[in-house]
Structure 1
Amino acid sequence: MRTSMTIAAAMVLSLAAVTAEAAIPYQGHTYEFRQPSGEKLKIRLDGNDYYAEQRTEDGSLIVYDNAKHGFCYAHVNATGDQLVSSGVLATNGKPRMSGIASAKSEPGLSTAAKARLAQERYQKMHGHTLDVAQRTTAAMMAPSAVANAPVSGQMRGLTVIIDFSDAPGTITKPQVESFLNDPAYTGFGNAQSVRGYFLAVSGNKLDYSNTVTRYYRAKRPKTYYADASLDSGTRSQELIMEALNWVKSSEGFDFSTLSRDSTGHIKGLNFFYAGEADSPWSKGLWPHMGWLGERFCSNGACTGSYQISNMGQQPAIGTFVHESGHLIMGWPDLYDYDGSSQGSVADFCVMGFGGVGFQSQHRPTKPVGFLRYLAGWETVTELNPAINRSAPTGRLSEDASGHALYRWSNPANAAEAFYVEAIHKSEQNLYQPDQGLAVFHIDPTGTNTDEWHPYIQMEHADGKRDPENNVNRGDGGDLYDGVATRAFNNNVPNALASHGTNSRWWNGYASGFELANISVPGKIVSFDVGAVPTVPAANVYNGTLANQAEAIHPNPWFEYKGGTLGAVLVGPAGTDFDLRIEKWSNAAWVKVAESAGETSQEKISYVAAAGYYRIIVASYSGAGNYKLTVTK
């Protein structure tokens, strides 16, 4: 999201990034809508449930016009923050040439306007964000040093299938049951069922299946629920409440058999209706995920979040899997809501675009390793010796088919880390854009709506950051694949001015994490972990301090095998500079030696045990240049 986005929108969308309420992504998605003339208008859709732009095949902007009961050509108003209907119904015929060189180049809304509209729609759909259940979900998704909410074992959801008097179901209940539950499933071009997907990506740790009802025949015709003049939450929720009451009263279903969260909310609540949406984006019966406004409870289970979507003629599991990631796992979206970028992970995760592509909709990609770790499906080996004294070094390997990851964590911020995994174009990752070694930078202060500091950043090996620059959703240069120039280290700064690929922490400090000699792509990828820098026998540091400022030498820390550490500080005359040595102990930096006289010259000689240390130069008063000499 560009810097013109309003702070209010940033706050709302940041919250959206870490709650279960999320949006289905669309890019180049096409659908048809029957215009008042009877013509089926072909519409191209780019966006998600909170904001999307709709265009005709020739690129003309269009909006649904309630007065015309159809799509009309649109233009951006003078302030650039609204699309205004022209009152002229759009057609598949001649391209519209309304004072612009080409409809294909017709600009849309400003980024700030898109953010504002996305914010407004989010608030309309999810005004319950302070609900206890959502606080629980947000807490689960907060990155941490350990997996804190494993999701494993058998989990049961409910899928209610629905048809209408004017749109009877053509896909049978057994076909829907197979689509959702058969471990070996290839119907409608899918490579697996929804259950099969979660068994595969969890290493058989999560068995998510759905109870499927027989068809519920809605009380009213489909045209009633698909009313294009109404928001998608209006008649959809009316239909959902009808169906739930029918399941309870007519079917006698025991809702206590469904998996629920700690507050009693049903985790996997799905509604699958016959045919196409027959509605414009965000209207009528348009597929979406939301929170059921009218509470329904039975057998100790209550409604909360739900998803509703159409079966179509060839149902693909990608969208169902993506939404199940929200509903049952609490995973966030990993793409940019306002469309100013493709997000950082793009096609490399099912919570980005990895489940909605032409091929990946039938074989969705894996969740990134960090999300799998949070779910309790992966083990992690800590590589940073400042945290793991037994951290492996030298030549290591990573198995793309295994369930073990490597991590390099920030000693000063337990929630920030780099995760390393191997990706091979086979099995679940068959349709990913690249293969090799992937590095993901995790930071809880980031948000997927800020492409330059996201919640999960992929460190693109080619340094181009094409997804962030809205060039593509990933390509063959994104993973480390044995090319000699593609080592991973601290060298390229990642300040916002350059947006580089590197191993620096977000505060700009070097992490000390280096990967080199990476093997060619395969199911197993080998690599060397670079040595952690140590202080030489004697080292001199020259620096400048502002009044009451501090500096770390060497930055961020060093490993010491034990012995006498010496530190001599010479500061400018007339100042009071102090000196101290800190050791990493019990997940915190602890002062072990200090020289804090009232002069600019200090000296420490400290007998140190083996461990991880840093030396701090601090100004008690005054400013100026200094010289620090460290010996061991």
Structure 2
Amino acid sequence: MKQHIFLILFLFLSIGLYAQGKIHGLTVIADFNDFQYKASDATIDSLLNQKSGYNKAGNVGSLNEFFKDQTDGKYDVTHTVVRIRFHKNRSYFKNSSGRNPDTNEPWDWGQAFADSVILKVKEKYPDGIPGLTRYKELSNNGIGSWLVLVPFGYSAYGVKSVIPFKSGDSYIPMNHIGLCDIGQGTETSHMTRILAHESSHAIFRFPDIGNQAGDDLSKKGNAGSFCIMGWNAGSENSPIDYCAPLLLTLKTAEVVDISADDKKKISIRSNARDTLYRFVNPKNSKEYFVIQSLNHSKWYPSYNVAGHPMDIGLAIWHVVEDSNAPMHPWFRLVAADGVDLMNDRSTKPPVATGNDNRVLLGKNVKSVNGKINPMLRWRDGTVPSLKISDISVPGAIMNFNVGY
């Protein structure tokens, strides 16, 4: 009996440790002859790792707080902070021809920079950096999060360095670098917003989901400013929440399914990260509508980084999972007036930024179903049996009826 109790306890603790999702990455501060970050290493360490109450430079929380809040406490993301110095100007890495003098490889400045960063870190730390964790903690994966603070904007998501890098007793591949321009680098000017976006690419393999020129909107989702992986997302310094379609992929929130036979009142806590409501297509389990409430809060600012006001109210997302890209479902935000404003590039400023009160429900539109709103229909055009009525005004709690 004692052995059985011990085994059950061991399995319980093992599951708990696995679910906790501890990730320890590497952040490199890169200084140049013509630019040096004035913020101390300790300041950047707090920006990344402080467990609670980080509020410097207009931020509302540290990077660690962001991941903890988004995953309902299930992920603890920290970084070792190191600083390197290139005895070159920034323009050195903007060359476009020849070979990288550090590696003698054909010149690609994003790749060249990634390799050069690793060489500089190895030079300063010949015994490596202990404690780095791999993506999903699998032994054949590369580093879970690798951020480099640089004073120029270039996203090198997917760039890998083949240069061996030691962590503990083994060598860890350095891939999925996130180059982060976090501001002027003074003690009063640095931001969590860019760090959250870039590290989410690496840690969760989240895609960019803004409405960008050349996007095939039939194959991807557009979250506008309603998600940190979107467009003009977050306030000047701080990130915004993950949108519900991406949050679902993490499997950190409880999913409450609404039945076609339900006739009840539902209360939703705005910006909740622990619970989402879902109505599934009875003919396709990978297609559904996800319901959440959005209100101005810690990670949902009143204005986005472009200065446009963020809409509040009940959000209904149409989602279709992609088995080949589990972290990148197709989705649409169902507009309150039934017009797909989120993908209308003609508006000035774009409604995709979330600055239009026709997007969310509860202010002017109090009831919605597929007969009166063409966006609340399945991909094949059929009308679902989902009926929502008596939607309350936006606030910390929103109420609505289903089935009436």
Shared fold per TM-score greater than 0.5: yes
- Mapped to 2, the partners of 1:479 and 1:232 lie a distance apart of 42
Structure 2 distance, partners of 1:382, 1:528, is 14
Distance 1:260 1:445, change over 3 A: closer
Q: Distance in 1 between matches of 2:141 and 2:215?
A: 38
- Do the aligned residues in 2 keep the contact of 1:158 with 1:258 (CA within 8 Å)? no
Q: How many residues align?
A: 349
Q: In the alignment, which residue of structure 1 is the partner of 2:384? A: 511
Q: Whose Rg is larger?
A: 1
After superposition, the CA RMSD in angstroms is 2.8
In structure 2, distance between residues paired with 1:320 and 1:363: 9
Partner of 2:264: 394
User: Displacement of 1:271 after TM fit?
Assistant: 1.3
**TM-score, normalised relative to structure 2:** 0.78
3-state SS in 1 of match to 2:229 = coil
CA distance 1:315–1:226, shift in 2 (3 Å) = farther
Give the aligned partner of residue 358 of structure 2: 477
**Equivalent residues of 1:399, 1:524 under 8 A apart:** yes
Q: CA deviation at 1:417?
A: 0.6
Which one of the candidate residues 127, 148, 164 is aligned to 2:32?
Answer: 164
TM-score, normalising length from structure 1?
A: 0.51
- Structure 1 runs not aligned, ≥5 long: 1-149, 386-390, 449-453, 494-499, 532-632
Could you report, residue by residue, the CA deviation over 1:69-94 in whole angstroms, capped at 9, with x for unpaired residues?
xxxxxxxxxxxxxxxxxxxxxxxxxx
Distance 2:271 2:115 in 1: 44
Matched position secondary structure for 1:428: coil
Amino acid at match of 1:317: T
Q: 1:154 maps to what in 2?
A: 22
Q: Given the superposition, is the C-alpha separation of residues 443 and 477 from structure 1 closer, same or farther in structure 2, using an over 3 Å criterion?
A: same
Identity percentage over the alignment? 24
Partner of 1:404: 275
Indicate conservation of the 8 Å contact 1:317/1:361, yes or no: no
Partners of 1:436 and 1:467 in 2: CA distance: 16
Task: Give the counterpart of 2:371 among 487, 491, 500.
Answer: 491
2:129 to 238, 247, 253: 253
Post-superposition shift, 1:159? 0.5
Following TM superposition, the consecutive aligned residue runs of length 4 or more in structure 1 with deviations greater than 4 angstroms are 228-231, 339-343, 445-448
SS at match of 1:441: strand
Question: In 2, distance between residues paired with 1:232 and 1:201?
Answer: 34
Between 192-201 and 308-317, the greater mean CA deviation after superposition: 308-317
Whether 1:288 and 2:147 are equivalent positions in the alignment is: no
Of 239, 243, 251, which aligns to 1:364?
Answer: 239
2:145 to 256, 262, 268: 268
User: Structure 2 unaligned runs (5+)?
Assistant: 1-17, 98-106, 304-309
Mapped pair 1:419 → 2:296 = no
Q: 2:72: which partner in 1?
A: 203
Pairing partner for 2:115 from 238, 258, 265: 238
Determine whether 1:349 maps to 2:220.
Answer: no
Q: Is the 8 A contact 1:461 1:486 kept in 2?
A: no
SS at match of 1:235: helix
Which residue does 2:190 correspond to in 1?
315
1:325 and 2:195 equivalent?
no
Asked whether 1:439 is paired with 2:316, we answer: yes
User: 1:189 maps to what in 2?
Assistant: 58
Find the partner of 1:305 among 159, 176, 181. Answer: 176
The Cα of 1:401 is off from its aligned counterpart by 4.7
Bigger share in helix: 2
Shift of 1:200: 2.2
Structure 1 match to 2:248 = 373
Q: Would you say 1:468 and 2:337 are equivalent positions?
A: no
Q: Tell me which of 204, 227, 231 is aligned to 2:95.
A: 227
Q: Could you say what secondary structure the match of 1:289 adopts?
A: coil
**Higher strand proportion, which one?**
1
Q: Which amino acid aligns with 2:292?
A: E
Q: Deviations over 1:47-105 (max 9, x none)?
A: xxxxxxxxxxxxxxxxxxxxxxxxxxxxxxxxxxxxxxxxxxxxxxxxxxxxxxxxxxx
Whichever residue aligns with residue 118 of structure 2, its letter is M
1:180 aligns to what SS in structure 2?
Answer: helix
Q: Specify the alignment match of 1:521 in structure 2.
A: 394
